[in-house]
Amino acid sequence: DAKTTQPPSMDCAEGRAANLPCNHSTISGNEYVYWYRQIHSQGPQYIIHGLKNNETNEMASLIITEDRKSSTLILPHATLRDTAVYYCIVGRTGNQFYFGTGTSLTVIP
Amino acid sequence: ETGVTQTPRHLVMGMTNKKSLKCEQHLGHNAMYWYKQSAKKPLELMFVYNFKEQTENNSVPSRFSPECPNSSHLFLHLHTLQPEDSALYLCASSQDRVGTEAFFGQGTRLTVV
């Protein structure tokens, strides 16, 4: 699986959009980009995933660059409950995920 | 609630004990797996089962023994563990199909004393 690079930490003001970047320059053509988050001591929560096109669901939007070497997860209106570690993962199937260290997002009141 | 249930949520065991962790999913998924998360470390994939067959064992010590009796249930049998095995053990499930997401349980917090 392709490796990913994420900033170790970010802050975001409550109510503002949180934009979390991820670099995956070695991604191959059949690998999807997945985003998960983990609130302290809980199981990772699935957020969104995509292959080439931008995706949106009730939680977030995923923007993938045209060359697919990077992506951005957007939380449109961050709340205090969005404080968590966010993981960007690339992989082919849903059962071979290799997690990195992620980005620790802190939403500030 | 993700549809993946793990029991117990917390477990304290001695190094000579034998215990089992249980995972159950009713999502109709055909792949299940165990992850380990030690303090301040990334999640580590331990075992993968597809259609009840073990397809991945990432160099996990034999004191951890998985069992998958059917597509809905997964166990992790523990025996003669070490204090460094204390961690959060997470179960997940998914369809074994390209482009599908995995859903995680809330984990079992294991402490070996």
For residues A61 and A49, is the Cβ–Cβ distance under 8 A? no
Residue A77: alpha-carbon gap to chain centroid: 15
For residues A55 and A71, is the Cβ–Cβ distance under 8 A? no
Burial call B51-60: b when 16+ CB within 10 Å, e when fewer: ebeeeeeeeb
Distance (Å, whole) CA B85 – CA B76 = 13
User: What is the reported pLDDT for A3?
Assistant: 84
Q: Average pLDDT of chain A?
A: 92
Chain A residue numbers touching B97 (CB-CB < 8 A):
93-94
Lookup: tokens for B43 = 């999640």
Q: How confident is the model at residue B53 (pLDDT cuts 50, 70, 90)?
A: confident
CA distance B45 to chain A (A): 7
Chain A residue numbers touching B107 (CB-CB < 8 A):
41-43
Mutate to test the interface with B, among A45, A93, A103 (most CBs of B within 10 A): A93
> Does the pLDDT value for residue B88 go beyond 70?
yes
> Does the pLDDT value for residue A95 go beyond 60?
no
Determine the 3-state secondary structure of A81 from DSSP: helix
> Does the pLDDT value for residue B40 go beyond 90?
no
User: What is the reported pLDDT for A93?
Assistant: 61
Q: Does B42 sit within 8 Å of A43, measured CB to CB?
A: no
Burial call A10-46: b when 16+ CB within 10 Å, e when fewer: bebeeeeebebebbbeebeeebbbbbbbbeeeebbeb
Residue contacts between A and B (CB atoms, under 8 Å): 74
* Average pLDDT of the residues in A10-38: 94
Q: Does B42 sit within 8 Å of A44, measured CB to CB?
A: no
Q: What residue in B sits closest to A32 (Cα-Cα)?
A: B99
Helix (H) or strand (E) holding A70: strand A70-75
Residue A51: alpha-carbon gap to chain centroid: 13
Lookup: tokens for A44 = 């990772």
Helix (H) or strand (E) holding A61: strand A61-64
* Average pLDDT of the residues in B61-72: 93
Q: How confident is the model at residue A100 (pLDDT cuts 50, 70, 90)?
A: confident
Name the one residue in this structure whose structure tokens are 């957020």: A47
**What number of other Cβ atoms are within 10 A of residue B18's Cβ?**
12
> Does the pLDDT value for residue A94 go beyond 70?
no
Q: What residue in B sits closest to A103 (Cα-Cα)?
A: B42
Q: Does B95 sit within 8 Å of A46, measured CB to CB?
A: no
Q: Which residues, at least 6 apart from B17, have a Cβ–Cβ distance to it below 8 Å?
A: B78, B79, B81
